[in-house]
Amino acid sequence: MKGGNLSERDKKHLWHPLTQHKTALAPIGIVKAEGALLWDEEGKSYIDGIASWYTAMYGHGHKDITRAISEQVQLLDFVMFSGFTHEPAVRLSEELMAILPKNQAKLFFNDNGSTAIEAAIKMALQYHFNQNDKRDTLIAFEDGFHGDTFGAMSASGLSSYNDPFEDFLLKVERIPVPQKDNLDMVQSQLESIVSSHKCAAFVFEPLVQGAAGMKFHSAEGLDKLIKICQKYGILCIADEVMTGFGKTGKIFASENLQNQPDILCLSKALTAGIFPLSITSCTQKIFDAFLSEDISKGFFHAHTYSAHPLGCAAALAGLKLLNSP
């Protein structure tokens, strides 16, 4: 072992996420993962109770997924997705469309959950801009969390993440999550916001807020809020990064709703955590708003590793497991 154990070597150069290095314990050096277990350098095992941030939903090192990646890398390791396409991306789009809410029509690939939200917010803002209806305000829930990039962070409501950046964020109006005892008040507050701001989109985690402490809210209440927003042409963005792929008993939490969101964001369990990949899906109506002889009305947003063949292969293998008896 070079110069000590992993924890000691780690301290020299590495800066960990969500960590106050002045007070945090040294990170545990993990050398092996299989199924629901992790092993450290001394051979001690740990149960990965949160599936490494809700991603490894089929267990670590699932042979069907690692086999799919191995076979794909020998055929096509990578090609940029601008001007090119490939079989894993096309097939993944076909299989996802078969299980996504019926109003979804187009998929835009990104590389992680935060960038899926980022693309969704930009998509919503430009959707209105392209129709000469410039809107500058987002609606989001109190205590929501949508990621760490600036648009996603703007929609998030946890001060521990946002405080140093509050003066630089997008304009966001926040409402409480709907419950049986506050629904009338929340609806009234939303109507007031809609009447006094140029609202482009409503961004929400459907049914449960993960980073807020698994805080659940009413499906019936959320349905009513979506209906209000869609009445005023406000696009509804469902952040299914954490809730997607079976977490709430249905494949997508949005299936518990009568009024479907216009945009869905997927990541984490999409590839079982084995490869970074995310998707922003939308309706045909949204996609059509970007079609023009004017090239500047196109969606000029990209990630180098979007639609990575290996990520798509992992996602396809995961979907096969998800749909198996």
19 and 117 in a single domain? The answer is no
Domain assignment present for residue 301? The answer is yes
Domain assignment present for residue 56? The answer is no
Domain assignment present for residue 23? The answer is yes
Q: Report pLDDT for 3.
A: 66
Q: Report pLDDT for 2.
A: 61
Q: Report pLDDT for 98.
A: 97
148 and 280 in a single domain? The answer is yes
32 and 67 in a single domain? The answer is no
> How many Cα neighbours within 13 Å face the side chain of 179?
7
pLDDT score of 242 more than 80: yes
Is 242:252 a contact under the CB 8 Å cutoff?
no
Rg (CA), the chain: 21
| Pairing relationship of beta strands 263-266 and 199-204 according to DSSP bridges | unpaired
Q: Is 198 helix (H, G, I), strand (E, B) or coil?
A: coil
pLDDT tens, position by position, 109-151: 999 999 999 999 999 999 999 999 999 999 999 999 999 999 9
Please list the residues that pair with 204 across neighbouring strands.
238
Residues 213-238, mean pLDDT to the nearest whole number: 96
Q: Report pLDDT for 324.
A: 81
- Tokens (6 digits) for 222: 């959320």
What is the tally of structural domains in the chain? 2
- Tokens (6 digits) for 274: 């084995």
Distance CA 21, CA 197 (A): 41
215 and 187 in a single domain? The answer is yes
Domain assignment present for residue 54? The answer is no
162 and 207 in a single domain? The answer is yes
Instruction: Check which CATH number belongs to the domain holding 156 and give it.
Output: 3.40.640.10
Domain that holds residue 281: 63-322
Domain assignment present for residue 1? The answer is no
- Tokens (6 digits) for 55: 């991603």
